[in-house]
């Protein structure tokens, strides 16, 4: 098990900053979904992390805390995520789903 970035949709979707997506050193790892959070009545979408690409550097946490001042990202053990997205199936998975930590084919 290892730590990956986890974004709180309720906090992120209250903004539209997208700042963290510009600083992650891994390509296609922090993405932005214009519709995430809309079902909860949020005005904007939310950033999310493709956990199979996240290398746990926590740079996005620093950016969100210190540059954006939104404190929406926490490093979380991968098996403790409430939901997760992986690269080749950009779909949120339920907590405890084995597929989160299972090997995935990355195009
Ligand atoms: S920096 Fe924080 S608030 Fe801004 S898009 Fe990223 S997670 Fe959301
Ligand atoms: S922890 Fe590092 S690799 Fe993972 S999403 Fe954040 S900036 Fe990208």
pLDDT(87) > 60? yes
Strands 46-49 and 30-33: antiparallel
pLDDT in tens, 17-56: 999 999 999 998 999 988 887 888 888 889 999 998 999 9
Instruction: Provide the CATH number for the domain formed by 3-82 in this structure.
Output: 3.30.70.20
Q: Which of 21, 59, 66, 75 has most ligand 2 atoms within 8 Å of CB, for mutation? A: 59
Domain boundaries, the chain: 3-82
Q: Are 25 and 57 in contact (CB under 8 A)?
A: yes
pLDDT at 104: 42
Cα–chain-centroid distance for residue 40? 17
Nearest by Cα to 37 from 73, 9, 58: 9
Tokens standing for 26? 């891994």
> What digits encode the pLDDT tens for the residues 4-19?
999 999 999 998 899 9
> Bridge partners of 107?
none
What is the CA(87)–ligand 1 centre distance, in A?
19
């Amino acid at each position: 098990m290892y730590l990956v970035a986890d974004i709180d949709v309720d906090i992120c979707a209250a903004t539209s900053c997208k700042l963290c997506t510009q600083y992650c050193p891994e390509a296609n790892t922090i993405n932005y979904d214009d519709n995430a959070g809309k079902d909860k009545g949020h005005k904007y979408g939310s950033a999310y992390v493709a956990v199979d690409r996240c290398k746990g550097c926590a740079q996005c946490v620093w950016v969100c805390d210190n540059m954006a001042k939104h404190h929406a990202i926490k490093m979380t053990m991968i098996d403790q995520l409430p939901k997760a997205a992986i690269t080749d199936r950009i779909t949120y998975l339920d907590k405890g789903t084995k597929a989160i930590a299972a090997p995935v084919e990355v195009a």
